[in-house]
Structure 1
Amino acid sequence: MSLKIAIIGGGSSYTPEILEGFIQRQATFPVTEIVLVDVKAGEEKVDTICQLGNRMIAEAGVNIQLTWTLDRRSALQGADFVSTQIRVGGLAARAHDERIPLKHGLIGQETNGAGGIMKAFRTIPVLMEIAEEMQELCPDAWMINFTNPAGIVTEALLNHSVHKKVIGVCNIPFNMRHSTAELLQAAPEDVLIRFIGLNHFIFGDKVYVKGEDRTADVFQKLLQKELDYNPANIMPLDWSETFIKAVRLLPNPYHQYYFQTPSVLEKDKQAYQENGTRAEVVQALEESLFALYKQESLRKKPEELEQRGGAFYSQVACQLMDSIYNHKEDIQTVNTWNHGAIPELPYDAVIEANCVITKQGPKPISIGEIPAPVRGMIQNMKAMEELVIKASISGEYEDAYNAFLVNPLVQDEKKAKLVLDELLEAHKDYLPQYNRM
């Protein structure tokens, strides 16, 4: 029996992660064919990844056919799962997303604030095309979307594309669970954090180990500065004792952009002056990674890959595919339709939540009311996400302006226009919906 995976954006430096995940799961998730897909500009990278991948497969002694192509339609034909990990415009576009807002005294970050909105504008139309092709060529396949901003992109696809078998994934809940497990000296599979909120804006309100409530222990450790689950792309900042005691929620690393904005902005400015944008740092890191990937003696994922901010995402993506394929009905944290799990949010909104994973897809576990200290912020973030999706599809300037204006990291009517105009000009080659005149 064949099991085909198509990886869109296969030339990404992350790809050895997901290949390793498939190799390790051959006993339960017997992949027989993997096709890496990329665009012409990524041809050399995807070829390098494919060669490394085939060395990894040979070293493991598993029977997987790994190839690459620039023909997306041929890769999608008959696929059972499609993993999407694209970056429209590459790291050069990311640099604009970071540099231009920072120039105007705003947070410059690839998935939050003005930069995150622009990434959605570039990304959603391309993934809508992929979804249409999937509905034609592999209608039963699940799209596992890792492309950021993952929650916004997933909602756009679920509510506006013809293909509905779409699930968004993120490594932040994975990092939080594993770091918490280490803190409590427990096995990660025994730890369950109840998450509430949206992608890159989730909170944990309860922590259980084998069903025992250990929330108080975790908050005590957090107060003692013993808990750190920041990915490599986000500099850690301490949370005050007052914040932890008052809010009584586990923040995720991205919350510092919203609750510690001035401090983050100063750190970002300093980092930019010393090392350039994070995109430029990643470009240098990727050069060294691909130099490693080309070494014929390398037959496994290098440890240096952990320096990338999305490290370990394959654990999330591969585990999800494995659970769908085997109808495991285990609990995982993914981005999917709300369907009443959070009553204060729209029924068809996408949330990041604990779900029971079945062959039919994720079933969100009811959360109940959003805690009062963060209720308004989560509702505001969801309203902003809806505006971003509308603007990504409509190509109307006023829609884009509204998305910028409502975003908590902008919320300045004059700066919103200045930054939007500069970013639209910088990204005009990747925004056909805004270049119709």
Structure 2
Amino acid sequence: MKQSSAICIAGGGSTYTPGIVLMLLDNLDRFPISRITLYDNNEERQAKLAKACAIMMKEKAPDIVFNWTSDPQTAFTGIDFVMAHIRVGLYEMREKDEKIPLKYGVVGQETCGPGGIAYGMRSIGPVIEIADYMEKYSPNAWLLNYSNPASIVAEATRRLRPGKHIINICDMPVALETMMAAALSERTGKTYTRKDFEVRYYGLNHFGWWTDIHTKDGKDVMPILKDYIKENGFATNAKDFQHKDASWKETYQKAKDIYALDPTTIPSTYLKYYLFPDEVVAHSNPAYTRANEVMEGREKEVFGIAERIIAKGTAKEDTFAVGVHASFIVDLACAIRYNTKERMLLIVENNGAIANLDDTAMVEIPCLVGSSGAEALTVGKIPSFQLGLINEQLYVEKLVVEAWIEGSYGKLWQALTLSKTVPSASVAKKILDELMEANKEYWPTLS
């Protein structure tokens, strides 16, 4: 009989939390659970979702202890895994991350360019705080962190809490592989899921390329997928609760233009922000960005479902959607708990996996996962085009973390200036000064 786990979901007020709870319940046969605790420092927001989840838990799994708290000792004592997806400043700050750069003709995006840098500066401290709570109250627990921007957060945990039980992950490769499975199914008439793939991939988070995709029965499907992406990008009929809005559909379609730059690989969609920043800005509405889309869409939808469940006292007539990231997290927890050696794309220290890249880079590559954590698979040397792009973005991220640690205005200005999305040092300074004022409640003091 498999040993059960106690779970803490940090960021309990997130719209993704109910989906993660549902995914955990759907997988109790392979990942039994004794307790689920939601933790968030925003008690009011968390309670709205937690009360609905409590009703859902009582109906679906009454034997599992379920609670929610804003007290760290209660949340982090006696747990095996923390699944962290915090958003510091909520969507109000994301809106500023996106709109301030657009004022200066620069990409305004959640994890890329100045917006991603601003978000990273807000995220580092609270993620480190969670790691320290775990060290104090449950030192053997694993932190499965998918708080954005994942690359900056991963570099911060590498620098500030090395050797701890921390694995940084992202669902975007999973979402794109789900799209590729749908495309392959469409082209071949045979049903595929992403679990049918074995992939070779390298890069930074939101900044990578697939170089090989075989099905597990040995069939090379890269030619079929490249042909599809050449024509359609990643646009398919696959259902995706997390990435269903109009802005995502446009992003999926744009992948065909990214692909044209290097038809030997299949690219991450986020590369559009670095390779076509002028087009992104031209197609952006500075008054209505992705943050507004989410606040008026997913936020209202999820909290509306929660309100109906609470009002009715039952979840039998309403349910929450389960995002692709939720299943990925369960896979990762299973691999660690039961030493399955499952192959997964994770963000880990390079240490020679990419031979011609800085060993200290936090790279996103295939790993084998077991009870000791992630074992990176060798990639080898990568081509000049990708190496040049990665190095530029890598040192942006390193400078951001150095700026946070040192309280250095100069290094953060350098980070913005180095970003491929920013045209000059003077524009970088204007954006930085405005972002610094907007984030004075969240960033460390810079001088």
Offset, 1:183: 1.7
Offset, 1:162: 5.7
Q: Which residue number in structure 2 is paired with residue 204 of structure 1?
A: 210
2:6 aligns with one of 4, 7, 32: 4
- Quote the Cα distance in structure 1 between the aligned partners of 2:210 and 2:319: 29
| Contact 1:6–1:37 (8 Å) recurs in 2 | yes
| Farther-moved stretch of structure 1 (7-16 vs 238-247) | 238-247
Change (3 A) 1:301 1:213: farther
Question: Per-residue CA shift, 1:379-399, capped at 9, x if unaligned?
Answer: 111111111111122111101
| Contact 1:196–1:367 (8 Å) recurs in 2 | yes
Change (3 A) 1:226 1:255: closer
1:421 aligns with one of 433, 441, 444: 433
Question: Per-residue CA shift, 1:221-278, capped at 9, x if unaligned?
Answer: 1122263279345332435579537442111111111122222111113xx44xx222
Q: Which residue number in structure 2 is paired with residue 74 of structure 1?
A: 74
- Which AA in structure 2 matches 1:227? F
Q: What pairs up with 1:33-112 in 2 under 5 angstroms?
A: 33-39=35-41, 42-61=42-61, 63-112=63-112
- Quote the Cα distance in structure 1 between the aligned partners of 2:258 and 2:419: 26
Q: Which residue number in structure 1 is paired with residue 225 of structure 2?
A: 218
Q: Which residue number in structure 2 is paired with residue 28 of structure 1?
A: 30
- Quote the Cα distance in structure 2 between the aligned partners of 1:316 and 1:240: 26
Question: Per-residue CA shift, 1:122-163, capped at 9, x if unaligned?
Answer: 110121222222222111111111110112202211221266
Change (3 A) 1:227 1:417: closer
2:300 aligns with one of 287, 298, 310: 287
Q: What pairs up with 1:295-334 in 2 under 5 angstroms?
A: 295-296=308-309, 297=312, 299=315, 305=321, 311-334=323-346
| Farther-moved stretch of structure 1 (377-386 vs 243-252) | 243-252
Please state whether the residue corresponding to 1:408 is helix, strand or coil.
Answer: coil
Please state whether the residue corresponding to 2:209 is helix, strand or coil.
Answer: strand
Q: Which residue number in structure 2 is paired with residue 251 of structure 1?
A: 267
Percent sequence identity is 31
- Quote the Cα distance in structure 2 between the aligned partners of 1:345 and 1:140: 32
Residues 1:116 and 2:116 are matched in the alignment: yes
Offset, 1:350: 1.1
Residues 1:267 and 2:283 are matched in the alignment: yes
1:354 aligns with one of 353, 356, 366: 366
Unmatched segments (≥5 aa) in structure 1 = none
Offset, 1:220: 1.1
Please state whether the residue corresponding to 1:295 is helix, strand or coil.
Answer: helix
2:355 aligns with one of 328, 336, 343: 343
Please state whether the residue corresponding to 2:177 is helix, strand or coil.
Answer: helix
Question: Per-residue CA shift, 1:55-106, capped at 9, x if unaligned?
Answer: 2223324521111111023211121111111111111111110110000100
Please state whether the residue corresponding to 1:32 is helix, strand or coil.
Answer: strand
2:199 aligns with one of 167, 184, 193: 193
Change (3 A) 1:198 1:25: same
Offset, 1:425: 0.4
Offset, 1:371: 2.5
Change (3 A) 1:369 1:228: farther
Please state whether the residue corresponding to 2:308 is helix, strand or coil.
Answer: coil
Change (3 A) 1:225 1:215: same
| Farther-moved stretch of structure 1 (48-57 vs 170-179) | 48-57
Please state whether the residue corresponding to 2:106 is helix, strand or coil.
Answer: coil
Q: Which residue number in structure 1 is paired with residue 188 of structure 2?
A: none
Q: Which residue number in structure 2 is paired with residue 164 of structure 1?
A: 164
Please state whether the residue corresponding to 1:429 is helix, strand or coil.
Answer: coil
Please state whether the residue corresponding to 2:272 is helix, strand or coil.
Answer: helix
- Quote the Cα distance in structure 1 between the aligned partners of 2:434 and 2:147: 24
- Which AA in structure 1 matches 2:176? M
- Quote the Cα distance in structure 1 between the aligned partners of 2:84 and 2:54: 20
Q: Which residue number in structure 2 is paired with residue 381 of structure 1?
A: 393
Offset, 1:201: 0.2
- Quote the Cα distance in structure 1 between the aligned partners of 2:133 and 2:415: 28
| Contact 2:258–2:275 (8 Å) recurs in 1 | no
Change (3 A) 1:82 1:301: farther
| Contact 1:132–1:163 (8 Å) recurs in 2 | no
| Farther-moved stretch of structure 1 (178-187 vs 21-30) | 178-187
Offset, 1:171: 1.2
Q: Which residue number in structure 1 is paired with residue 405 of structure 2?
A: 393
Offset, 1:20: 1.1
- Quote the Cα distance in structure 2 between the aligned partners of 1:23 and 1:242: 39
- Quote the Cα distance in structure 2 between the aligned partners of 1:288 and 1:113: 29
| Contact 1:9–1:85 (8 Å) recurs in 2 | yes
- Quote the Cα distance in structure 2 between the aligned partners of 1:190 and 1:305: 23
Question: Per-residue CA shift, 1:268-300, capped at 9, x if unaligned?
Answer: 13xx44xx2222222222133212211125627
Change (3 A) 1:238 1:11: closer
Offset, 1:109: 0.7
- Quote the Cα distance in structure 2 between the aligned partners of 1:155 and 1:341: 17
Please state whether the residue corresponding to 1:106 is helix, strand or coil.
Answer: coil
Please state whether the residue corresponding to 2:107 is helix, strand or coil.
Answer: coil
- Which AA in structure 2 matches 1:98? E
| Contact 1:197–1:351 (8 Å) recurs in 2 | yes
Please state whether the residue corresponding to 1:336 is helix, strand or coil.
Answer: strand
Change (3 A) 1:53 1:138: same
- Which AA in structure 2 matches 1:216? P
Tell me how large the CA RMSD over aligned residues is: 2.2
